[in-house]
Structure 1
């Protein structure tokens, strides 16, 4: 059975369960528990013959032969007991609860849908993509806010393509959500290195990826998603359930790929090296930060810098305010430009994210050794926002929409996988005689001379402002107005929170 058929089959059943009061997120969560138990059972049989990590009496077989209220009661006990275990088992089943209302519907999911497939024998691509498809559908349930941690997969693929992870390199996402960046990096390494040794494949599976996720339910989905893609094991747990901003973990990575959550975490304050402390309930000492700020995105930029090895590479999705905010924002940008090689900025179009009002960018930089002279020489900016219109449902972003950016990143000819060599051959598509070019460079001195060292740079003319005939469709105009208002309201709520008011 192919991926699309499996996804459709499982998703059709979700629509049945919705009538029972179960949300999309609840369904995927319950599916996570049952898929794990089914695969653990399959691995105990030939040709694998592996010992089961699941306690006897709480395994798949114990569910399969029960029915009615007996099954219902036993399923609840299985979730409670396995949630007390350690390792990957404990992560997946921590705080697990039975969300089914009807024993017959639970029985049907177990016997008719999951048990009829042999999940372990499927390729990692098929079963992983099937689960990923369910997560994407889950993210589309915007009413429940399920999309808040979901980065569009075409954008992730393009970012990973230009970052080009290699065998032996370690990859981290300090705000990993359901694991999109980590999985895409894994798939890239496998695809581009078909002749890896057995040891290289083991390291890829057990030593390469590390993610942090604050929300337990999301971490559970991520752990299962990675397991279905062949990453991790009962002994190796690639996901940490924690606030990654709370402290320097001590680990350092070759690549950091992340889309940190937008918004302000009101319960935590970051104290920088200058010793300033904001008035919040919890205080986190971070002497490795350049500046103190309550802006979570600016703190994530500093945290990513800490996580990188020397000459490590980062791609971070950041909202516009990170590019122009004064105070700590200016301090951080100036330090980042001096201490790191900030070489590329991708301005993203609106309409990509499930959270409305988001205007975002991808910032690419490399961590460098201490130097009296600045490491950033040129910042190359690709404007994919001006005169570009996407919507989540009717006109979603496709991977081919980013082909030109990827080609420009590698020097227009798509040259080579050697990242530094590709960047040396870059040339702008913008010129005075070609003012519609979306790709141009700005020197370090030019960046520092801008007000507050702002990196919020644009040069293309907005066609909708030039000619009424070129106006976008009315629904797109309305959508942009709504997004701007949502963004403004979010900022006002943060300001109210800072003033001690009710948000």
Structure 2
């Protein structure tokens, strides 16, 4: 979520595009994404060069030596943002149009890679050198501001606001899962170097990027000092599907910028028969769309056998169970209605998770988490696919603060439950004796069964009511009379003043 000065800077960039005749929000976000990617490519190349130098590993910069573009051979250094940004506007425009853009479109050698698929039809649409020069300067200003603010996810913050521009323009609304919520979910699942991680509704690849960044922090030496694990990390660990080519293009660039050379980012309707994946992934991290209903004819028949419904939030849960390997784990966001819905489909999918697999946790989140883009109340479900049960005790947590105000402004505040959630989840053995009046507690499988598999925390949480002593009625009446007398005296005084 961006506010204040940064919001104004992004609006300023948007205004520059509008002045140049580019008013379609999808075109604007694509062009900004390309330019951000070009800038990030320079930064990440420098960073990876330094990392390899520190680790004593060889590194070949993509900007080193000469680069062949079409029939021309040029010095690769000229393609670096930090170099061409200082060129005169006319030359910068020529370099961008004739060299830099063709360079990034053909950056990846594998023509079947996600990056190549979604960059192949990219078009540079900035109309004049002056517009390009203004936007380059404005983006540099944004990055300078974000670096001074010590924000680690420039792309995420900007995408969040840009995606709202798409939503407000009348297109199908898309909103980004807040970065700190994604990070919490990744930490709760604690991925390993051997995991295969999927997001079947990946959007801009936020979950996959965060999982990759977490692995770099926690298991850096294990992954990058092992040839096979590094190859797995770069090429086969991360998979994402989406039905929006713009989001796929942004997601592919986002992954590459974060050092993932060849993620599997594909155009696919995950709920349809065009998605054949079964028991392929050891981890799923997702916030699937809650867009209501869809055409049952478009839904894979095996998902309908699990829960006969048109509601996407229920079908995605059935999909996660199908796509996970036995022993695979899932952390996903669901609307509260999934937890307590009374339809047969709602009960069937909850029963499937509780009875046939192992439900580990239900984390109830406050309704303001997705504001200003949505006010829906949500929860995080964490479960393991076993195929033969295993649910014993389910951990519930009543999250009431996430470090930001729960209004549309979402300004930072001191109160947050996230560190407590992560710490308690790591030590579930210490949660068994907690009372139902606390932030977290355990509920037995038998109790959940007896409540029609209702997973709403309010079904099990106990509220402590403090006894309040009120004075007797006669005393209250006497106080009211005294107040009336006092008001009467003051009214008399006021009347005297008005007659003077």
Paired residue secondary structure (2:370): coil
Aligned-partner Cα distance in 2 for 1:397–1:219: 33
- 2:90 paired residue number: 67
Is 1:32 paired with 2:16? no
- 1:378 paired residue number: 393
Is 1:221 paired with 2:250? yes
Deviation at 1:443, TM superposition (A): 1.0
CA gap of 1:139–1:36, structure 2 versus 1, over 3 A, is closer
State the superposition RMSD in angstroms: 4.5
CA gap of 1:41–1:361, structure 2 versus 1, over 3 A, is closer
Mapping of 1:178-189 within 5 angstroms? 178-189=204-215
- 2:446 paired residue number: 445
Is 1:261 paired with 2:289? yes
CA gap of 1:102–1:442, structure 2 versus 1, over 3 A, is same
Deviation at 1:259, TM superposition (A): 0.4
- 2:119 paired residue number: 93
Larger radius of gyration: 2
Aligned-partner Cα distance in 2 for 1:73–1:159: 39
Aligned-partner Cα distance in 2 for 1:73–1:353: 37
**Which of 293, 317, 325 does residue 301 from structure 1 map onto?**
317
Is 1:367 paired with 2:385? yes
Aligned-partner Cα distance in 1 for 2:73–2:33: 16
- 1:454 paired residue number: 454
Is 1:353 paired with 2:370? yes
Paired residue secondary structure (2:204): coil
- 2:480 paired residue number: none
Aligned-partner Cα distance in 1 for 2:118–2:267: 11
Aligned-partner Cα distance in 2 for 1:342–1:74: 53
Mapping of 1:419-438 within 5 angstroms? 423-431=428-436, 435=437, 437-438=438-439
* Length, aligned pairs only: 420
CA gap of 1:356–1:58, structure 2 versus 1, over 3 A, is farther
Aligned-partner Cα distance in 2 for 1:55–1:237: 27
Mapping of 1:232-381 within 5 angstroms? 232=261, 236-246=262-272, 247-250=275-278, 252-266=280-294, 268-269=295-296, 280=297, 282-286=298-302, 289-325=305-341, 326-354=343-371, 355-368=373-386, 370-371=387-388, 374-381=389-396
CA gap of 1:77–1:8, structure 2 versus 1, over 3 A, is same
Q: Is the Cα contact below 8 Å between 2:448 and 2:455 reproduced in 1? A: yes
Aligned-partner Cα distance in 1 for 2:410–2:303: 46
CA gap of 1:10–1:443, structure 2 versus 1, over 3 A, is same
Aligned-partner Cα distance in 2 for 1:27–1:58: 31
Structure with the higher helix share, 1 or 2 = 2
Paired residue secondary structure (2:315): helix
Deviation at 1:70, TM superposition (A): 8.5
Aligned-partner Cα distance in 2 for 1:240–1:295: 23
Paired residue secondary structure (1:186): helix
Paired residue secondary structure (1:453): coil
- 1:207 paired residue number: 236
Q: Which runs of 5+ in 1 are unaligned?
A: 270-279, 412-422, 467-503
- 1:195 paired residue number: 221
TM-score by length of 2: 0.70
Aligned-partner Cα distance in 1 for 2:405–2:142: 41
Deviation at 1:57, TM superposition (A): 6.5
Aligned-partner Cα distance in 2 for 1:397–1:56: 56
**Which of 101, 126, 143 does residue 168 from structure 2 map onto?**
143
1:18-43 Cα shifts (integer Å, max 9, x gaps): 55254665444213324555777997
- 1:479 paired residue number: none
Aligned-partner Cα distance in 2 for 1:306–1:367: 9
**Which of 166, 170, 175 does residue 196 from structure 2 map onto?**
170
CA gap of 1:194–1:398, structure 2 versus 1, over 3 A, is farther
CA gap of 1:106–1:259, structure 2 versus 1, over 3 A, is same
CA gap of 1:186–1:174, structure 2 versus 1, over 3 A, is same
Aligned-partner Cα distance in 1 for 2:415–2:257: 24
Deviation at 1:101, TM superposition (A): 5.0
Aligned-partner Cα distance in 2 for 1:429–1:22: 56
Deviation at 1:262, TM superposition (A): 1.0
1:384-409 Cα shifts (integer Å, max 9, x gaps): 25999712424458894312222221
Q: Is the Cα contact below 8 Å between 2:156 and 2:179 reproduced in 1? A: no
Deviation at 1:316, TM superposition (A): 0.8
Aligned-partner Cα distance in 2 for 1:402–1:58: 52
Q: Is the Cα contact below 8 Å between 2:367 and 2:377 reproduced in 1? A: yes
Aligned-partner Cα distance in 2 for 1:161–1:226: 19
